[in-house]
Structure 1
Amino acid sequence: MTTVTLYHNPRCSKSRQTLALLEEQSVQIDIVEYLKNAPTAEDIQAILTMLAVSPRALMRTKETEYKEQNLGDSNLSDEQLIAAMVNTPKLIERPIAIANGKAAVGRPPENVLAIL
């Protein structure tokens, strides 16, 4: 049986929809409420590698914290952007599903089916 790690925010409708979609599949789900248990820099780097995207592509750029922390500054390094996500996990796009050595962002929720 496939195990899916889901970085989940229960207050987010897309995250809830993704969880419901995964529950319909024959998979075991390991839910990580990332706002309560923030991922480490190493976790985020691993997710970025699996998604083959830059840190900024995994960030919620419309969040107030993004603007307040001046994270739109193009001079910031990947390490600085990852540190911002570790320190302010609300900035991380959600939900993120990981299975079979691959990751997918559940926007739309059906995106996660590709990694099962």
Structure 2
Amino acid sequence: MSITIYHNPECGTSRNTLAMIRQSGAEPVVIEYLKTPPAREKLIELIDKMGLPVRSLLREKDIPHAELGLADLTWSDDSLIDFMLAHPILINRPIVVSAKGVKLCRPSETVLDLLPNPHIGRFVKEDGEVIDAA
């Protein structure tokens, strides 16, 4: 089963998710979306497959969010997508795609639902939290 992760190596949740995928025995396609952002059509497809409102994929913690006034609820979905494409750091991560579906994997153990072998055993996250997926 092919697995793709839209990954930011600077993000602990993204690193934990990638490590869980690998611990399951799978080697995913890793797309560092800050270097290679998805095309507009692909981003829309991912959002649709996740079944999320566009705004819920918008990362609020990073600087451009406040500077661009994105907390304003009058921005349309198309405008929010435009902002995410212009500033990929605004795309919340990690997004994982597998034959089992597409999910924003926050928290990282959400990825287990997408893995062909979710029984990865004991996993210790970077923050020390232990996940037991036996």
Give the structure-2-normalised TM-score.
0.81
Equivalent residue letter for 1:82: I
* Match of residue 101 from structure 2: 102
CA distances 1:23-63 after superposition (whole Å, capped 9, x unpaired) = 01132300000000011111111111111111110011122
- State the partner residue of 1:67: 66
Structure with bigger helix share is: 1
Question: Where does residue 37 of structure 2 map in the other structure?
Answer: 38
Measure, in 2, the Cα distance between the counterparts of 1:72 and 1:44: 20
Contact 1:50/1:101 (8 A) holds in 2: no
2:110 alignment counterpart: 111
Residue in structure 1 matched with residue 10 of structure 2 by the alignment:
11
- Residue in 2 aligned with 1:77? 76
* Structure 2 unmatched runs, 5+: 116-134
Q: How does 1:42-57 map to 2 (within 5 A)?
A: 42-57=41-56
Corresponding position of 2:85: 86
Quote the Cα distance in structure 2 between the aligned partners of 1:99 and 1:93. 18
SS of alignment partner, residue 9 of structure 2: coil
* Partner SS for 2:49: helix
For structure 1, which runs of at least 5 residues remain unmatched after alignment?
none
Partner letter of residue 55 of structure 1?
A: V
Distance (whole Å) between structure 1 residues aligned to residue 106 and residue 73 of structure 2: 25
Counting matched residue pairs gives 115
Which protein, 1 or 2, shows the higher relative CO under an 8 Å CA cutoff with sep ≥ 6? 1
Q: Which runs of 4+ in 1 moved over 2 A?
A: none
Separation of aligned partners in 1, 2:34 and 2:84: 11
- CA RMSD for the aligned pairs? 1.2
- Structure with max Cα Rg: 2
Question: Whole-Å Cα distance in 2 between the matches of residues 85 and 103 of structure 1?
Answer: 18
Using the size of structure 1 for normalisation, the TM-score is 0.92
